[in-house]
């Protein structure tokens, strides 16, 4: 067991496993109670915000496989999220009259997204850096435009109107879309989703941690460093790059499916380039290649804009008696400042991966 902990733990905690476990129990307890506290303080919307933040953690971790581990810049990652969401929506809504169960659709969604990942990966195997970024950007746009226009001649995606009344997730006879009551105790659907997402998050993080320290993870690292040398070491660079795209895409598809179920409605508008850029920003801000860093980055960029939304207006009213700058405007301003500050002070991210940190230190010499 210690062996696993060594891999998973951030370095400073490795020497004090007892402290670590106490911390884990406390954090787990706090996270378990949190949604009920929020609801009882009539802050239900924050549970919803947290759910979407967790979805963005899924997406960031998926993109991190492609960008952070394998070093392939992908600017169209949201396409896989879109594919996953549409697969779920088409198979579980009145649109086609299909209502397949969650456990059937989720793997299908992930598999279709995986297929799209390979579809994007195969023709771009020889591209790197800027050129790869341009192609992936185009790919993301193509997928979105298809979603927008595939309502004729056969109506598949229902075009810009999107697909509505998508089934909620139902597991073990439990409908995640409604409030469950056991006596006086009420558990709203949002909180059920919260627990489901938390559960999935733990599994996804464990998969990522295991992946990073695996043979595959090390091969990705070698490809990122020097592709030719990696090949000379006997690494099948073609398959491994495709695998990175496919795995990243599967995580995106998975997140998309859950998104469609929680939201109940999807339209191409949710899958714009801005979203791709946002996810990439989460990965970069947190620290490319470092799983914990990426988690922190995704949570920060999900929560801070929401915090601003709730604080900027009242703060200005209290100070100046009226609203001068809108929260939305201020958000982009702060976002820009944060990015510039990051590049100046922590270019490798908030929690940089060991290798990136070394790389940057070397370049500074």
Residues of this chain that bind another protein (CB under 8 A): 215, 218-219, 221-222, 225-226, 228-238, 355-356, 358-359, 362, 365
DSSP-derived 3-state class of residue 326: coil
Tokens of 70: 């394998």
Nearest CB to another protein, comparing residues 318 and 364: 364
Q: Is the peptide bond before 153 cis (omega within 30 degrees of 0)?
A: yes
- Of 60 and 237, which has the nearer Cβ to another protein? 237
In angstroms, what is the minimal distance from the CB of 63 to another protein?
Answer: 20
CB atoms within 10 A of CB 340: 10
Pick the closer one to another protein by CB: 128 or 317.
128
Torsion angles phi and psi, residue 175, rounded to 5: -90, 120
Shortest distance, position 238 Cβ to another protein, whole Å: 8
Minimum Å gap between C-beta 284 and another protein is 17
Q: How far are the Cα atoms of 104, 106, 160, 311, 351 from residue 257, in angstroms, in the given order?
A: 11, 6, 19, 32, 29
| Closer residue to another protein (CB): 56 or 69 | 69
Q: Which residues contact 344 (CB under 8 A, 6 or more apart)?
A: none
**Would you tell me how many other CB atoms lie within 10 Å of the CB of residue 204?**
21
In angstroms, what CA-CA distances link 56 with 81, 223, 237?
A: 10, 27, 29
Smaller CB distance to another protein: residue 300 or 360? Answer: 360
In angstroms, give the least distance from the CB of 18 to another protein. 27
Kindly report whether the peptide bond that precedes residue 208 is cis, defined as omega within 30 degrees of 0.
no
- Asked if 237 and 227 count as a contact pair (C-beta separation under 8 A), the reply is yes
Chain centroid to Cα 265, Å, comes to 19
Cα 278 to Cα 302: distance, rounded to the nearest angstrom: 9
Q: Which is nearer to another protein, 215 or 317 (CB)?
A: 215
Q: How far is the CB of 236 from another protein (least distance, A)?
A: 4
CA 167 and chain centroid, separation: 22
Nearer to another protein, 161 or 218 (CB): 218
Token pair 């090949």 is at which residue? 231
Q: Is 9 exposed, middle or buried (0-12, 13-18, 19+ CB in 10 A)?
A: middle
Q: Contact 20/4 with Cβ under 8 angstroms? A: no
Nearer to another protein, 7 or 317 (CB): 7
Minimum gap (Å) between residue 78 Cβ and another protein: 29
């Amino acid at each position: 067991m210690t062996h696993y902990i060594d891999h998973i733990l951030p370095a400073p905690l490795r020497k004090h496993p007892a402290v670590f476990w106490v911390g884990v129990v406390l954090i787990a307890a706090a996270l378990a109670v949190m949604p009920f506290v929020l609801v009882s303080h009539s802050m239900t919307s924050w549970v919803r915000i947290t759910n979407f933040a967790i979805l963005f953690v899924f997406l960031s971790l998926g993109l991190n496989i492609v960008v952070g581990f394998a070093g392939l810049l992908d600017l169209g990652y949201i396409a896989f999220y879109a594919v996953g969401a549409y697969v779920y929506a088409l198979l579980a809504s009145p649109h086609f009259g299909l209502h397949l169960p969650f456990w059937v659709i989720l793997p299908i969604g992930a598999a279709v997204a995986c297929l799209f990942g390979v579809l994007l990966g195969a023709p771009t195997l020889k591209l790197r850096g800027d050129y790869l970024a341009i192609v992936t950007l185009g790919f993301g746009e193509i997928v979105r435009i298809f979603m927008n226009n595939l309502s004729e001649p056969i109506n598949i995606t229902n075009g810009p109107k999107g697909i509505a009344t998508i089934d909620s997730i139902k597991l073990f006879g439990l409908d995640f879309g409604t409030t469950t009551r056991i006596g006086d105790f009420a558990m709203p659907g949002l909180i059920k989703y919260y627990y489901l997402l938390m559960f999935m998050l733990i599994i996804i993080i464990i998969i990522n941690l295991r992946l990073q320290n695996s043979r595959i993870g090390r091969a990705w690292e070698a490809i990122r460093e020097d592709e030719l040398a990696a090949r000379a070491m006997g690494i099948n660079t073609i398959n491994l790059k495709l695998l990175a795209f496919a795995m990243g895409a599967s995580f995106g598809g998975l997140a998309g499916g859950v998104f469609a179920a929680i939201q109940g409605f999807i339209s191409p508008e949710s899958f714009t380039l801005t979203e791709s850029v946002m996810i990439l920003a989460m990965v970069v801000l947190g620290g490319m290649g470092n799983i914990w860093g990426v988690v922190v980055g995704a949570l920060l960029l999900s929560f801070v804009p929401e915090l601003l939304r709730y604080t900027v207006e009242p703060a200005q009213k209290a100070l100046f008696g009226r609203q001068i700058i809108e929260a939305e405007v201020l958000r982009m301003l702060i976002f820009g400042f944060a990015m510039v500050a990051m590049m100046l002070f922590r270019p490798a991210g908030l929690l940089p991966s060991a290798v990136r940190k070394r790389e940057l230190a070397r370049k500074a010499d």
